[in-house]
Structure 1
């Protein structure tokens, strides 16, 4: 049978840009769990396909929480509208609605690059809201960037005419909220869709499979109100930086290490990579290097790492390394280079495993399956390089010109990888 008919369509209180699996497993899940009747109007980012598939089943989908012991399914009805992101008429209509108090975004790190379309689309929506006199709104970034709300605010204001009414209105009436988001959500496969049919009896073309764990920490104001996300377990704090660093420097950095080392070793998923004793040892070394830079006590970090070991080892979540490996040029700065800089600033040596991630990434860029638009020039430089030292210099000049003093130790790690060793 097809998915069951929708039992309720909630009034739209939230707009969202980036209608992917992560949004539907995280912000949409929190909004439905809040239980206050808030609905979401969601717009796709780069491709209209997700909106097309979801619209065909009335925007209802199945969320499967896949734990180590089994699956549980929830029917998700929180998406009240789904749209192609290119539908500017619908976008402006939703953002101009005074009942819509929040705009959330999941556009990934690459969506904040200069020239990307996300900031321009946000500004377009805010122009429509300002013209309609609909009042202030909170814009909530849900991507793996430090201080992502400020990054988006700066990008949007950079596009507004200096001294214009819209610039003044954004500065006074629009809140840009930073948030730390966490829930491992692999891309959905045909096997997942078949598993959902067996579990529920529904033919769902757009299910989402995710882990049981979820976390959301937010910092900022909501001038037009918000869903009761705190009732669903979200945390609201004054300073989000420590939570961002914990997530980026432990989970995301660990993912990058496993992706680049793991793909080179022939592994496909996170669980396969972390089951490799050599990679597990390298991961533990990275965590030991990163944890010294976190503003949390030993017990708190130990608890976070214990949870990550369990989550990474959940072989029923097929989180593919190739998915994690995309856009390393955007991801490695906040995940690896920032904690490396912190170590140096604290008088510590650069982390051997931190440099190892950069070395593995350099090797990845020389391979056949590179999906990283921001590294196109570096890829050419690496292909022309003839020595490990030239490759190290190219990587550091592209990602971190302030760290070129580390060329020699990075070259040692690159040379070790060329000889087929992690050490």
Structure 2
């Protein structure tokens, strides 16, 4: 009798597989292990000529799922670069260790080692817990709890980003481990200064003597990061299995375009990122302004208006002539106030349209729509203020605000914004004509008193959803 051999399952991606890179020694720590970090900072570090010297110990945010998926893979993952012509696959091995956020003693141990030179951060904008003045919101429940915990025990388990950073720096000071750089990679203007503000403010509450140590030992570097990275899907996992012949629980899809602009002193050293394509500059601001206003600002506009018009992804939304026209209007308004000019703006706009139209990236509008109450303050309000100061009514900015108000009232993508309680309450309290100024005031006090702007936002909202 003959028998058919049982089919063997493909192996799990790990460093035991032939051809995979060995784990480099940990000299970098990352907070906020997710797809974007792995498509961007980890990828750039892997491309540096001294990559073998710069491994990353990466810690998740509140949810441990990515660490649980990557631990059996020894931190390895597959980067799927999606161009309009097809996919390219690359195993990235720079993440040498993965940990859940509650592995706090491991984190403190890393920060106490002199060879750890840089802590990079991707926790999204709300994670910095700033108040309206841009400083730490010391009255926030998480901040109050973490402050009390660190006062009682500098090694206590804490949850907020400012407290995790302060705890790590307390451990570093206690170990006399020397200088270190904190490098924010989140979409915030002057993100290094934001990090400095929240860390310094919390340090003053926990241990005032730490503030002087920060001044002498901590470099708060700034960066602008740009690479569209949609959420991983089961289809991505199946694709890797079929194409690569192994199982990867957490591959990362991304686009071909990538940019990273960095400014900092890096007193303890850093990888040779500039040899991997990173632009190292004295001032990041012109680049971050262009990216925040043009890419992120139009992303928010498309997330709200596009989803209300029935689209699910960026490529679908930008193919809609009505959405495209709104984006172009917004870009015209924002472009008048950018510090960069000429082809640095026109060429970037052209490239953005090509990137947005890439049908293989499939960046979901619902993913982009989250945390609008924080994002719009840095993506939409700055060009809006500049236009109003110039005596103009910005139709593109007004369209974003109108679509956001409708989003808060239940149209389009579902609301996923823990910081939007006041805005949601304002949006749902009565007719649209009353809701618009109230929502604008929740975004920026006094904005709802701009009667001409309110009228334009209301007009745009009723054009988008007649009878809303």
Both structures adopt the same fold (TM-score exceeding 0.5):
yes
Structure 1 position 404, deviation (Å): 3.4
Q: Partners of 2:21 and 2:314 in 1: how far apart?
A: 37
Q: Which residue of 22, 26, 31 corresponds with 1:8?
A: 22
**Residue 36 (structure 2) aligned to one of 7, 15, 22:** 22
Answer yes or no: is the 8 Å Cα contact 1:392–1:407 preserved in 2: no
1:374 to 419, 425, 447: 419
Measured against aligned partners, the alpha-carbon deviations of 1:62-113 in whole angstroms (never above 9, x if no partner) come to: 1111111011111111111100111111010111111010000000001012
- Report the equivalent of 1:360: 403
1:218 to 1:416, Cα distance in 2 relative to 1, 3 A: closer
Q: Which residue of 2 aligns with 1:386?
A: 431
Following the alignment from structure 2 to structure 1, what is the Cα–Cα distance between the partners of residues 364 and 31? 24
Residue 196 of structure 1 and its aligned partner are, at CA, apart by 1.2
- Unaligned ranges ≥5, structure 1: none
Mean Cα displacement is larger for which, 277-286 or 161-170? 161-170
* 1:204 and 2:214 aligned: no
Distance 1:416 1:221 in 2: 46
Within-5 A mapping of 1:158-307: 158-161=201-204, 164-307=208-351
- Structure 2 length normalisation: TM-score? 0.87
The structural deviation recorded for 1:419 is 4.8
SS in 2 for 1:161: helix
Q: Which residue number in structure 2 is paired with residue 124 of structure 1?
A: 167
Q: Which residue does 1:409 correspond to in 2?
A: 453
Q: How much is the aligned-residue C-alpha RMSD, in angstroms?
A: 1.5
Q: 2:152 is matched with which residue?
A: none
Distance in structure 2 (CA, Å) of the matches to 1:164 and 1:326: 36
Deviation of 1:410 (Å): 2.7
Count of residue pairs the alignment pairs up: 420
Distance 1:327 1:290 in 2: 21
Q: Which blocks of at least 5 consecutive residues in structure 2 are unaligned?
A: 1-9, 130-136, 143-159
Tell me, in whole angstroms, the C-alpha distance in 2 between the residues paired with 1:397 and 1:200. 52
Could you tell me how far 1:386 is from its partner in structure 2?
Answer: 1.9
Is residue 133 of structure 2 the alignment partner of residue 86 of structure 1?
no
Distance 2:89 2:221 in 1: 31
Measure how far apart 1:415 and its partner are.
Answer: 4.1
Instruction: Decide which of 57, 63, 67 is 2:73's aligned counterpart.
Output: 57
> What displacement does 1:289 show?
0.8
Work out the CA distance in 1 between the residues paired with 2:401 and 2:237.
36
